[in-house]
């Protein structure tokens, strides 16, 4: 062991140092455990999922999402909103309305469809002229 007390030696090993018995020296090997944990905690606050393998990532992601949904449901219920029971995977049950185009919406409401831009601009100019005449009187 090195020239330091056993408590300090353990602290240095957790701090990312490696002890070389042949040279009787400590060498920096990796980052400290507490720095790594601080980065992981910061990432969790940003809803990141730390993992060393893909399988671990998928498992932790599911846990994180389930916990987040539970928390949000409780918050919504506390505010008095109704929360749907279910897992939210019902894509078929969700109603998707196709977006209407402006011209189709105007025809349905009974409005006339403008012929072209020139006619539209002419109507605007005429309306502006009428408003100016009314202000002059």
pLDDT of residue 130: 84
Q: What percent of the chain has pLDDT over 90?
A: 39
Query: pLDDT (tens digit, 9 = 90+) per residue, 59-72?
Result: 999 999 999 999 99
The terminus-to-terminus CA distance of the chain in angstroms comes to 102
For residue 92, the 8-state DSSP code is T
> Where exactly are the structural domains of the chain?
1-30, 32-80
Residue indicated by tokens 């078929």: 92
pLDDT of residue 133: 80
Angle (CA) 134 136 137, round 5°? 70
Query: pLDDT (tens digit, 9 = 90+) per residue, 71-127?
Result: 999 999 888 888 777 665 555 545 556 565 665 555 555 555 546 777 888 888 888
pLDDT of residue 8: 92
- Report d(CA 12, CA 75) in Å as an integer: 44
Count of CB atoms situated within 10 Å of the CB of 9: 16
How many whole angstroms from its chain centre is CA 119?
A: 46
- Report d(CA 84, CA 73) in Å as an integer: 9
CA distances from 69 to 10, 24, 27, 113, 116 (A): 41, 53, 45, 47, 51
pLDDT of residue 28: 93
- Beta strand residue intervals within 16-67, DSSP E: 17-20, 25-28
């Amino acid at each position: 062991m090195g020239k330091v007390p056993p408590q300090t030696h353990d602290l240095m090993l957790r701090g990312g140092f490696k002890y070389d018995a042949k040279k009787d020296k400590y060498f920096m090997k990796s980052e400290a455990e507490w720095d790594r944990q601080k980065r992981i905690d910061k990432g969790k606050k940003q809803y990141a999922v730390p993992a060393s393998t893909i399988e671990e990532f998928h498992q932790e992601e599911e846990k994180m999402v389930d916990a987040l949904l539970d928390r949000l449901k409780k918050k919504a219920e506390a505010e008095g909103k109704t929360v749907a029971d279910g897992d939210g995977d019902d894509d078929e049950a969700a109603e998707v309305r196709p977006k209407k185009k402006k011209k189709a919406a105007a025809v349905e409401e009974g409005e006339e469809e403008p012929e072209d831009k020139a006619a539209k601009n002419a109507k605007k100019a005429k309306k502006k002229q009428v408003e100016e005449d009314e202000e002059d009187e």
